[in-house]
Structure 1
Amino acid sequence: MQWTTDSVSPGRSAAPRRHARPYRHVGVALSAIAGLVLGLCGAVAAHAEDLIEEPISLSGQLANGTAYAITVPANWTGTLVMDADLRSATNAEGRWLAEQGYAVASRSRDVTDWDVGGGSRDLIELKGIFVDAVGIEPATTIVTGRSLGGLVSRDALNTFGEEFDGGIPMCGGGSGLVGMWNHRLDASFVLDVLVGGGGAIELVRITDQSAADAALGSLVDQAMATPEGRARVALAGAIGGVSGRPGGAPEPADDDYATRLQTTASTLKLLLLRRSVLEQTAGGNMSWNAGVDYTHQFETSGQTAMAEALYSEAGLDLSADLATLAGAERISADVGAVEWARTSGVYDGTLEMPVLSVFTDTDPRAALSELRAYEETVAAAGSSEMLRQVVVDRSGHCSFTAAEFVAALDALMERIETGEWGDRATPEALNARAAALQAETTIVLGTPAYYTVSDIPPFPRLFTSDMLLPGLDGREGIPVTAEVTDESGALTLTVAEFGTGVELVRTGTAPDRWRFSGELPTITVTDSRNAAQAAGGGWATSGQSTAFVSGANVVGADHFGWDPRVIDSRPGVTAGDRSETAMDGGNGLAVPSTLATATDEGRRGASVLGAGLFLDVPVGTPEGAYTAAVTVSLFPVD
């Protein structure tokens, strides 16, 4: 479609943009004859518009007491916009939606709160109420939400995909509930250890929320009073992905450390906000940092410059502080709380419909790297073609203009109709679309600020619904011990419960590394499910390692890789790709890496798997006995 801005005179209100799709009328019996079905579609659509002669406004409570509101304009075009939070009918967005013929159904978060799965179920119940009240099932249903509502909308799209034709989740939630709170734990842990000496704050399992918030705020203020403390605030911000861009302001200069640091400090004070409510809802603590390599997380944060500069000014040893973090007592999660989260705000990435995800460049409650987390989760599920993500050049929590939302909605509607994204989701196209939509209405929509952002750092604490839990689920993992010497020696991997050792021997030396190699203990997967149980699916195995730790010294899990193979090769069973180490541009076993997969054809019986192991130890690594744990996980796949 070619957009022009002079098709409607300024001050005129245009007719609604009718993204036409056939209505589905409740109770209409459809003939099995194809020709008659096609004839009925058009007839029902025409009749449906006649049924909505006056605006409809409904409010009430869902079964759990959640308040809801429904509005249907007289010119309803058949599209229902569902919002995970109560939406105003009188602000610019609400008036534009009514003008353009969109029905809206929204609900309050007051009852479900952090129960993200409960929020998704609320939306399904609300859609049923809409259909019963209006008498017509919408031709198109879009779900949207912001902040916690963004989490709910993503969860609803993932869990109840058949109920929605598209989605616009906004501002945060891209990493899911566990990943988001793990990342928040990281920054507060750094402050607690390096500024408070450890144990100064209730970081998890909070018994007094007000006291915990006050203690964190006091710790930040204490740190900001000294050069050493300010350096550690910068380190906490980098590890926690906290931006230094103030709300409602442009990006400060790269070396404007005063502005960036003050903003970082203000954001750090919010990191424990309402954690106790989450823990009460989940039945425990869902966050952990056992096995987390904070040196690697800092180095890959994309935010190292300010911390390095402030450490230098303060005369502090950054490496020593990172070593202190490596040796600090870590935090474990409550298994039950994590299992609860798997079905309430943690995604597997499957999308059955187009989704346009929108972020602000800087949000004090959600790192922009969550965009990367959502992208990776969706890609792992094979749904990348359904997803497009865009960023608004603005700082603040969910600080979008109406122009940005309506442009996203209009572009998504075209994607649903045409089946193709084309260039509709580019920043340039969305800004042009917003301008065109503004020219067609007297409602002031504000200024769009979509822009192209580059160099978004990876999200360090990604956790999806099928991902293994380090040290949880009662699985002890495979203990790995490495004895590193400066000149020569052997590396031995001992598998405690297997009763044999895996010896890694030096197989190569390069100017920057020592390489040790060996073999993973044989893994056997036995599948005796019947056809009904497997439902046409197969299985997959993956492995992940924690960092190698020796006292205060760490060799990251991204330096440890494998080369999987199927020992008893047969059709339908495929070895995973080689996982290269960080020294060759890979992530190693720091992230879940596929060992093997099986289709329905190859899954039955016993499959014997192995893998060559290799550890790249940087030259100059301090001597010591290094210990890590490798966990191999098995799960069914569709």
Structure 2
Amino acid sequence: METDRWSGILNGAGYRVEVPRNWNGRLVLYAHGYEGLNPALTISDPPIRRHLIQTGYAWAASTFSKNGYDVRAGIEDTNTLAQAFNAIAAQNNRPLPPPARTYIVGASMGGHVAAAAVERETLETAVNKFRYNGAMSMCGVVGDTELFNYMAAYQLAAQYLAGLPAASFPDNDFINKKDEVKDNLWRIFPLLPKDEGKKLSDAIMNLTGGARPVAADSFRLKPLQDPIWARFGSDGTIDGIVSNNIIDTTGIVYQLDGDPALSDEERLMNATILHVRPTTDVNPRRTDGLRWIPKVNGQFDVPVVTLHTLGDLAVPFSMQQIYKRRAAVNGSDQWLVQRAIRSPGHCDFTAAEQIEAFEAMVNWEQLGVRPAGDEVLNPGVVANPDYGCSFTRNTKGPDDSSTLDVLRKIFRSCS
């Protein structure tokens, strides 16, 4: 497929733009995931790049001007790139008409960017304002700061059940306790739990979205647990994006089994475990731009389609439940379709799953026909052994990794 490819720097952020010769007049902005604190800025191509250019879409992606968990920069820099698309094309001797439609797609932290980009608060407060026609958020942090609350709650529950409860936050001695916590909970971490480790598994199942296929298996995989444990011990400042503690576990109810009624043991745990309170007004709404960590309030009026794997521990499936509740409260759930994918890790989608969701979002925006999705709030539906099969596509394509193919077979994912 013949395309024009341009790259450069825009307001301190690198960018890449690709436009097919048979451009269909539509533009897709792609927002990448978390890149850590590495000062080197990098660009990621959209995972569905092959599909986009073969079907005539132009796409553009920004490095963002900062790394770390800086969703604010992600939105502003992506919006700036969307605004500059025609100027970039003209500078490269290919004048183009303004895109007829512009969509935003993001994964992980970029899924937070994509969801927040279409929020009413963002449209009102962003410095660089841009209105997208639709969004696709994959494995996204669509519960915004609730992700950090979950991480802290996991650590606090592990310490409590291991008999080494945190007395203060942050627990400055956690790094020295970590191995003992694991030894007290597992015979072999995280494959063979002791009795208290089984309780932790149930507690985290409830924190991450409730009983559901694949999730229990994910909890036993060391490659999935190690990155989570590496984040424990945070002081709640989130890579310096906010300078004070943003974590709030006061609304979390710990449950050690599948019964929503609290047992005596659960009541004792909830009464005695350390509850972390955030610094007052640590992430305020601003009049001079976006919050330090932009909110996903559930206030939007364009089609949004999400994908989330059921076993994700890094950005758990509960993010989708939080998003759905917020959208329902604000009357925006009419614009939200969510799809569950049966896979154990973070963002491990097949290209077919992503393409199908993207085209569903575009067709919805273009034709007004709402696509099918999954129910995410009904515990009985989510716990069904076949949950997630409707939109899981295991056919391996040229852009899918062999590792993902093996994972799907190991976890007996849907045919």
TM-score w.r.t. the length of structure 1 is: 0.49
For 1:87, the aligned partner's letter is S
Is 1:331–2:262 an aligned residue pair?
A: no
Partner of 2:17: 70
Shift, 1:244, TM fit: 9.5
Partner of 1:25: none
Provide Cα deviations, 1:255-288, integer angstroms capped at 9, x if missing partner. xx8x676348963761562856715111111112
Shift, 1:319, TM fit: 3.2
> Given the alignment, which residue of 181, 187, 206 partners 1:219?
181
Instruction: Answer whether contact 1:169 1:356 (CA < 8 A) is retained.
Output: yes
**Secondary structure of the residue that 1:347 maps to in structure 2?**
coil
> Given the alignment, which residue of 218, 232, 241 partners 2:208?
241
For 1:166, the aligned partner's letter is G
Distance 1:412 1:290, change over 3 A: closer
Distance 1:231 1:321, change over 3 A: farther
CA distance in 2: counterparts of 1:184 and 1:349, whole angstroms: 22
Distance 1:269 1:166, change over 3 A: closer
**Secondary structure of the residue that 1:98 maps to in structure 2?**
helix
Partner of 1:270: 228
Distance 1:217 1:415, change over 3 A: farther
Provide Cα deviations, 1:160-186, integer angstroms capped at 9, x if missing partner. 39520111100131212x211112221
Shift, 1:216, TM fit: 3.6
Partner of 1:230: 197
Is 1:344–2:304 an aligned residue pair?
A: no
Is 1:106–2:61 an aligned residue pair?
A: yes
> Given the alignment, which residue of 148, 157, 176 partners 1:190?
157
Instruction: Answer whether contact 1:150 1:173 (CA < 8 A) is retained.
Output: yes
Unpaired runs of at least 5, structure 1: 1-12, 14-53, 305-317, 454-638
Distance 1:345 1:444, change over 3 A: same
**Secondary structure of the residue that 1:188 maps to in structure 2?**
helix
1:177-576 correspondence to structure 2 within 5 Å: 178-199=145-166, 204=170, 215-216=177-178, 218-225=180-187, 227-241=194-208, 251=214, 262-263=220-221, 267=225, 270-271=228-229, 273=231, 275=234, 278-290=238-250, 292-295=252-255, 299-300=259-260, 319-320=264-265, 322-339=267-284, 344-421=293-370, 423=372, 444=398
CA distance in 2: counterparts of 1:222 and 1:110, whole angstroms: 43
Distance 1:362 1:194, change over 3 A: closer
Partner of 1:503: none
Partner of 2:29: 82
Query: Could you tell which deviates more after superposition, 224-233 or 354-363?
Result: 224-233
Distance 1:351 1:213, change over 3 A: farther
Distance 1:273 1:61, change over 3 A: farther
**Secondary structure of the residue that 1:335 maps to in structure 2?**
coil
Shift, 1:150, TM fit: 0.7
For 1:385, the aligned partner's letter is Q
Distance 1:145 1:131, change over 3 A: same
CA distance in 2: counterparts of 1:231 and 1:284, whole angstroms: 34
Distance 1:141 1:385, change over 3 A: same
Shift, 1:345, TM fit: 3.1
CA distance in 2: counterparts of 1:390 and 1:360, whole angstroms: 9
Instruction: Answer whether contact 1:190 1:325 (CA < 8 A) is retained.
Output: no
CA distance in 2: counterparts of 1:179 and 1:96, whole angstroms: 33
Shift, 1:99, TM fit: 1.5
CA distance in 2: counterparts of 1:392 and 1:217, whole angstroms: 33
Shift, 1:220, TM fit: 2.1
Is 1:138–2:99 an aligned residue pair?
A: yes
CA distance in 2: counterparts of 1:279 and 1:190, whole angstroms: 23
CA distance in 1: counterparts of 2:155 and 2:350, whole angstroms: 32
Bigger Cα Rg: 1
CA distance in 1: counterparts of 2:117 and 2:228, whole angstroms: 27
For 2:362, the aligned partner's letter is M
Shift, 1:428, TM fit: 8.6
Instruction: Answer whether contact 2:30 2:45 (CA < 8 A) is retained.
Output: no
Partner of 2:37: none
Distance 1:264 1:146, change over 3 A: same
Bigger strand share: 1
CA distance in 2: counterparts of 1:351 and 1:228, whole angstroms: 45
Instruction: Answer whether contact 1:191 1:232 (CA < 8 A) is retained.
Output: no
Instruction: Answer whether contact 1:192 1:198 (CA < 8 A) is retained.
Output: yes
CA distance in 2: counterparts of 1:280 and 1:375, whole angstroms: 29
> Given the alignment, which residue of 109, 113, 117 partners 1:156?
117
Shift, 1:62, TM fit: 3.0
Instruction: Answer whether contact 1:216 1:269 (CA < 8 A) is retained.
Output: no
TM-score w.r.t. the length of structure 2 is: 0.73
Shift, 1:232, TM fit: 4.3
| Structure possessing the higher relative contact order (Cα contacts under 8 Å, 6 or more residues apart) | 2
For 1:148, the aligned partner's letter is M
Distance 1:328 1:251, change over 3 A: closer
CA distance in 2: counterparts of 1:401 and 1:292, whole angstroms: 33
Unpaired runs of at least 5, structure 2: 33-42, 90-94, 124-128, 188-192, 376-387
Instruction: Answer whether contact 1:157 1:167 (CA < 8 A) is retained.
Output: yes
